Each structure stands twice: as structure tokens, then as C-alpha cells.
Amino acid sequence: LPVAHYLKSRGLATREQVDNELSRFGVNSVEVAIKSMPELVKEGMLSPLAMFQFFSAALWLMDEYWQYTIFNLFSIVMMEAVTAFQRFRTLRTLKGLAPKPYELPAFREGKWAMVKTTELLPGDLISLSSSTHTVATAEGAAAAAAGIKKGKGTDAVPCDCLILHGSAVVNEATLTGESVPQMKDALKTTSHSDTSVKLDIQGHD
């Protein structure tokens, strides 16, 4: 979409637009499926490496090396159980990193209203504030004037956003591995002499 579309954005204007976007994109949530320990152990036992080891143990058993066979089978089961436990713990940790849903001001149908982060849709105009302080922006002032009470704020951005007013310092370590927080500035008309050009999604705008 051209830059002018974002600069003139006033959010989702009608209820029909909200319903259409919801049916097209669904809720703003990513669920990390956690398998049970028996399922993870079963997957490990059916892996090619484990099956090869079981086949090798069967060959040793045919030669009456039953002591070596028992030791080998015990080692396989213990190794797969430890691997499954590590995977289970990693999945639980990954699921715990997901921020809990919270409410924030969103401009919909011509007015500000509190909307849960799981209900955000492409095209929404939202107002964000940090958990430690609030930055005064045009959207925040309009929300206050409309009688919309801001929440406590958060340090987690609920979705991919394009900043129209204000600025932010974002920690992208979990996404890119970059340890230094990055400064994000608002999309300004002065940086685009021709607002009909498409927005560069690679972040050069």
C-alpha cells in the first residue's frame, strides 16, 4: 500500500470492516502447542536413529549377547527420555514468553475504545505506552479527551506496528538476537516527497 494510505489512516471505520478483517485474519494470538511427555518419548523412539539402534540391538541379541543388548536398550530409552524432557521444558519456557492479553486504546468506528490485544486487526489505529511511563502522543491525547482510561502500559508490543506519531526504543533480542535496543521513529511526510510510492516493508522508510 502507498505511504499516503498509512499517513491518512483513521483505523477501521465501520463494523463491517472489523468483521471482514476478523473473518480473514482471525484473532491476534499465537499458541505454542505443548505435547505431553509420552508423545515426545514416542516420537523419539520412532526416530530413524533410535530405530537403527533397536535393529542393531536385535542383531546382538541373535548372537546371544543379551547383556550388551539390555545395556544398549536401557541407554536408548534413557537418552530419548532425557531428550523428550528437555524438549518439553523448552516448549513450556517458550510458551511462557508470550505476553498475556491486555487492553489498550484503539480507534474504531470513529471513536476510541478499549480493545484486547487478542482482538487487534490489520488496519487498527492504537495508542501504546510503556509500563514505566506514558509518552504524550496525538492518539493518547485524543483518547484522554474521549474519556478512555489508559491501562498500566506494557513493555511488549502486541503486534507488528507502524509508528505514525511519537517514537519508541524497542528491544528486538528475541527476534534478531541484537542485544542493543533499536530506536524506532514515526513515519513522517517530510521523508517522503511522493506519498504515492509503496511503503518499504524492509524498514528503510
- Residue-wise pLDDT for 75-134, tens only, equals 888 988 999 999 999 888 888 777 788 888 888 888 888 888 888 888 888 888 765 444
Radius of gyration of the chain (CA): 26
Q: Which range, 52-66, 149-163, 173-187, has the best average confidence (pLDDT)?
A: 52-66
> 136 pLDDT band (50/70/90 cuts)?
very low
Q: What are the backbone angles phi and psi of residue 104, rounded to the nearest 5°?
A: -150, 155
Q: What are the backbone angles phi and psi of residue 60, rounded to the nearest 5°?
A: -65, -35
| Nearest residue to 151 (alpha-carbon basis) of 100, 96, 98 | 100
Q: In this predicted structure, what is the pLDDT of residue 203?
A: 57
Q: Which residue type does 15 have?
A: R
pTM of the model: 0.58
Q: What is the mean pLDDT of the chain?
A: 77
Place of cell 517514537: 167
Asked whether residue 192 carries a pLDDT value surpassing 60, the answer given is no
Q: In this predicted structure, what is the pLDDT of residue 85?
A: 92
